[in-house]
Amino acid sequence: MYKTVFEALKWASSFLKEHGRDENAGELLLRHYLKVSRASLLAGLRDELPRDIGEKFREAVLRHAEGVPVQHITGYEEFYGRVFFVDKNVLIPRPETEELIAGALERIAQIFGDADKTLALADIGTGSGAIAITMKLERPSLQVTGTDISGAALSVAKKNAGSLGADVEWIKGDLLQPFIGSGRKFDIILSNPPYIPEGDKEGMSIVVTGHEPHTALFAGEDGLHFYRRLAEELPAVVKEQALIGVEIGAGQGEAVAELFQAAFPGADVEVVFDINGKDRIVFVKLFKK
């Protein structure tokens, strides 16, 4: 058994690499059990590791090697500088989605101006609530609603809203259906819908396919099922002047942009590429005629 922090990390890195996992996961797990920052962990590499923590750490590394996501072991993921509770009922928030938030905030300011202006925003398929809660906390004047077809996912979102102090309305329902019936309209619609083609399942890591909800991952043969539905339903729920932003899978930009351009012929449709040069977001800007 390893005696120091350094020895524990060295063992974890080697063990996880052998099992085809991210060798940096050991650092995240050890920080979790020691309750320290990365800087503190690295500053204390030669420190003795308490036996009880060493045992918990070893068990966690073994679980991750078997395919359990680090976030399901620790119970949380960081997103946009905040800590979100996650479990098997929700998609683990990804760094790419932070780019949707940043891009949306920038375009809201361009289209609507005044930061204190009350605007209605809906996050469709909210999952952990990461988008809805972050938008509310970053721009408090927004009236935010999050929807999901999964009641279990909404329970996670509500828990996160409570712990982070975000006043968000939560509605159970299938995409935009809850609003079409009631006639509600929004200034801003954001969504990170399922977009992985069913055929890609075989080549994916069990860390994802074995532990995250498939309803939040897969979207038909070509991955475009939910974008087709959104393009069909969105015209009924957006105001004359509005912003729509959706996260997409790499290579889907052109197809999704065409769907939205057909739904909103006069709109400004923009495909945004992420920091890795992959098409990642489609924004639709609608202006009053």
> CA-to-CA distance for 129 and 161, rounded, in angstroms?
7
Same-domain pairing of 197 and 146: yes
Q: What is the CATH number of the domain that holds 231?
A: 3.40.50.150
In this prediction, residue 139 carries a pLDDT of: 96
How many separate domains does the chain show?
2
In this prediction, residue 231 carries a pLDDT of: 92
Same-domain pairing of 143 and 15: no
> CA-to-CA distance for 17 and 75, rounded, in angstroms?
23
Same-domain pairing of 137 and 194: yes
In this prediction, residue 210 carries a pLDDT of: 52
In this prediction, residue 234 carries a pLDDT of: 95
Domain that residue 45 falls in = 5-66
In a domain, 62, yes or no: yes
Same-domain pairing of 187 and 249: yes
In this prediction, residue 202 carries a pLDDT of: 56
In a domain, 27, yes or no: yes
In this prediction, residue 200 carries a pLDDT of: 53
The domain boundary, picked from 20, 36, 66, lies at 66
In a domain, 235, yes or no: yes
In a domain, 76, yes or no: no
In this prediction, residue 72 carries a pLDDT of: 86
Same-domain pairing of 252 and 138: yes
Q: Which long-range contacts (CB under 8 A, 24 or more apart) does 249-257 make?
A: 249/195, 249/196, 249/223, 250/278, 250/279, 250/280, 251/278, 251/279, 252/195, 252/223, 252/224, 252/227, 252/279, 253/279, 253/282, 254/279, 255/222, 255/224, 255/227, 256/224, 256/227, 256/282, 257/282
Residues in the chain with pLDDT < 70? 1, 194-223, 289
- pTM, full prediction: 0.88
